[in-house]
Structure 1
Amino acid sequence: MRLEQLQAFLAIAETGSFQQAARKCGVTQSTISRQIQALEADLGLSLFHRNAATTLTLGGERFLPRVRKICQEWRNATAELSDLIAGKQPELCVAAIHSICSHYLPPILQQFCRDYPEVQLRVTSLGSDRALKVLKDGMVDLAIVMNNRFLLASPEMVVQVLYDEPIEVLMGANHPLTQYESIPWLELTCYPQVVFKDGYGMQRLVQDRFERLGATLQAVLEVNTLDAFRGVVRQGEMVALLPQSALVEARHDPTLVVRALDNEHPSLTRRVVMVTTQDRLNIPPIRRFWDLVQASLSTESQIKVEKISV
């Protein structure tokens, strides 16, 4: 049983004529006849009385409402896919790490909303591991995360590197480490630290560096928002290792100080990437958002490099 057979049956039932049904379906009358004969053979019964007026048999009458539903579902499905290809999707869902949401995304979101006012844009701030999980589960269309070659090693994933950024030290304005222009790693190990919760790429990055140095990370508190990091650190001796983009607001806060790490060891950096699947990248709104992020963050990174060079 094939779809074109069902469409032929429905056309005959609606027009009452094999000849008119052929015109409606855009095929020859002989083609319509062969399709109905094959369908009747599959079903094991006749669907039409073939006399002066083509009418439905009892089996045809019982079959008709089912075929109408099947053909309508097919029309609905093809219409939805056509809308998807044309960019007429109802929403676009994005998962991104906190620093991206708070600093880089706002102007991109505004531009996308101007480009696609009919698309509901939904942005969720998540840790990298969770963001990639909801992407793989189909709950979001695109994720902006810290690079993790193990979680991204999948053939259907498309990964775009956005930028690399240094990790710096956040502390209170009266912290003893403010005496250093760049913090020695040995000194850093002497103080308790606030870290991201488990499941965030930053926690693994920091923990891995301490292990490579043969040092113990005094992780005494786990939080998951930048506001929480700033609030806790300004209260006492706790410090936090955070990416440069997460420290934009802290640099303008007189109760906080940001310091670079020293250069005694290979620099500690993180790589931020944008991820989606190849099939999603073919959808116009998703592609537009992808291009906006890539263009905007490439510009931001270049400006940052120029400021540092100056």
Structure 2
Amino acid sequence: MRLEQLQAFLAIVEAGNFQQAAQKCGVSQSTISRQVQSLETALGTSLFHRHGNAKLTLGGDRFLPHAKKICQVWAIAEQELQELQTGKQTELCVAGIPSACAYQLPPILQAFSKDYPHVQLRVTTLGSDRALKVLKDGLIDIAIVMNSPYLATSAEMVVEPLYEEIIQLLLPAKHPLTKKERLTWKDLHHCPQVVFKDGYGLQRLVQEQFNRQGLHLNSALELNSLDAFRGVVKQGSLVALLPETFLAELSHDRDLVVRSLHDPCLTREIVLVTTSDRIQIPPIQHFCKLATAIIKNYRANYHDSSAPKN
């Protein structure tokens, strides 16, 4: 059964005869007759009485509402796809890691809302692994996550680098390690830490670094909120390895100390990820371009302001 067969059937019902239906459809009468005959063969029943006007048989009468419904559903589907391709998208769903949602996304969301005021933005904070999973499952349109080797092997993923940031150490002000001039990874061997929960890219990155150094990562507590990290470390017994984006605002907190780690300096790359089909949709494409431009500008200003002055 094909759509044009259903359309031919409905055209004959509306016109009352084959000739006028053919004219309305812009085809020959023989063509529309063949379409109906093929439809009848597929259904296994006659749809019209063939003498006089095209009067529906009992089977044709029963089939009529179903044919109308199928064609209506098809028309709605066509319209929705056309609107999608022309940018008439009702919502855009984004998932991002905590630091990106807190510090990088707000200006992007504001700019996008001005350009696409009729698109409802939905933002969810997730770990990198979970964000990529829901993107692959089609539940979101864009993920802002930590880069991983998995992304390079997935053909359907479109990956746009956004920025790199240093992983630094957050300590309570009275912690013994604050007295050392230069901190290395060996200083954290067996040191009790608060870490991100499993499934967060930063947790995996830190664990891999400890493994490479032949050191033990003492995970005393797991969290998934940046504000919770700050509160726990302030209690005075635990330290945490966190991104510089978050730690920059804690420089004036007298109860906390931010220190860099050496040998080596650990960094992570943050990327924007969508899929090859979604990037063709105008609102999604525009969001991706905005994110790249705004974050690039932000990072340039950030490094200029943090650079030492002569």
Establish whether TM, by shorter chain, passes 0.5: yes
How far did residue 113 of structure 1 move?
Answer: 1.3
How far did residue 191 of structure 1 move?
Answer: 2.6
Partner AA of 1:28 in structure 2: S
Residue of structure 1 in register with 2:229 after alignment: 229
Counterpart secondary structure, 1:150:
helix
Q: Is the 8 A contact 1:131 1:143 kept in 2?
A: yes
Residue of structure 2 in register with 1:292 after alignment: 290
How far did residue 44 of structure 1 move?
Answer: 3.4
Partner AA of 1:305 in structure 2: H
Residue of structure 2 in register with 1:160 after alignment: 160
Return 297-306 or 270-279, whichever deviates more: 297-306
Instruction: Please show how residues 154-233 of structure 1 align to structure 2 within 5 Å.
Output: 154-189=154-189, 191-233=191-233
How far did residue 61 of structure 1 move?
Answer: 1.0
Counterpart secondary structure, 1:249:
helix
Q: TM-score, normalised by structure 2?
A: 0.93
Q: Is the 8 A contact 2:151 2:157 kept in 1?
A: no
Mapped to 2, the partners of 1:91 and 1:23 lie a distance apart of 42
Counterpart secondary structure, 1:288:
helix
Partner deviation per Cα, 1:209-238 (whole Å, 9 max, x = no partner): 111111111211111101111001111131
Q: Identity over aligned residues, as a percent?
A: 60
Q: Please, which of 272, 279, 285 is the counterpart of residue 274 of structure 1?
A: 272
Residue of structure 1 in register with 2:6 after alignment: 6
Return 183-192 or 213-222, whichever deviates more: 183-192
Partner AA of 1:132 in structure 2: L
Return 82-91 or 18-27, whichever deviates more: 18-27
Q: Is the 8 A contact 2:190 2:216 kept in 1?
A: no
Residue of structure 2 in register with 1:38 after alignment: 38
Aligned residues: 308
How far did residue 105 of structure 1 move?
Answer: 0.7
Instruction: Please show how residues 1-310 of structure 1 align to structure 2 within 5 Å.
Output: 1-150=1-150, 153-189=153-189, 191-262=191-262, 265-310=263-308
- Provide structure 2 residue ranges, at least 5 long, that are not aligned to the other structure: none
Mapped to 2, the partners of 1:267 and 1:162 lie a distance apart of 20
How far did residue 83 of structure 1 move?
Answer: 1.4
Partner AA of 2:112 in structure 1: F
CA RMSD for the aligned pairs?
1.7
Q: Is the 8 A contact 1:168 1:261 kept in 2?
A: yes
How far did residue 300 of structure 1 move?
Answer: 2.0
Mapped to 1, the partners of 2:182 and 2:109 lie a distance apart of 36
How far did residue 93 of structure 1 move?
Answer: 0.8
Partner deviation per Cα, 1:185-213 (whole Å, 9 max, x = no partner): 22232531111011111111111111111
Mapped to 2, the partners of 1:236 and 1:121 lie a distance apart of 39
Mapped to 1, the partners of 2:44 and 2:102 lie a distance apart of 65
Mapped to 2, the partners of 1:234 and 1:242 lie a distance apart of 14
How far did residue 134 of structure 1 move?
Answer: 1.0
Q: Is the 8 A contact 1:98 1:226 kept in 2?
A: yes
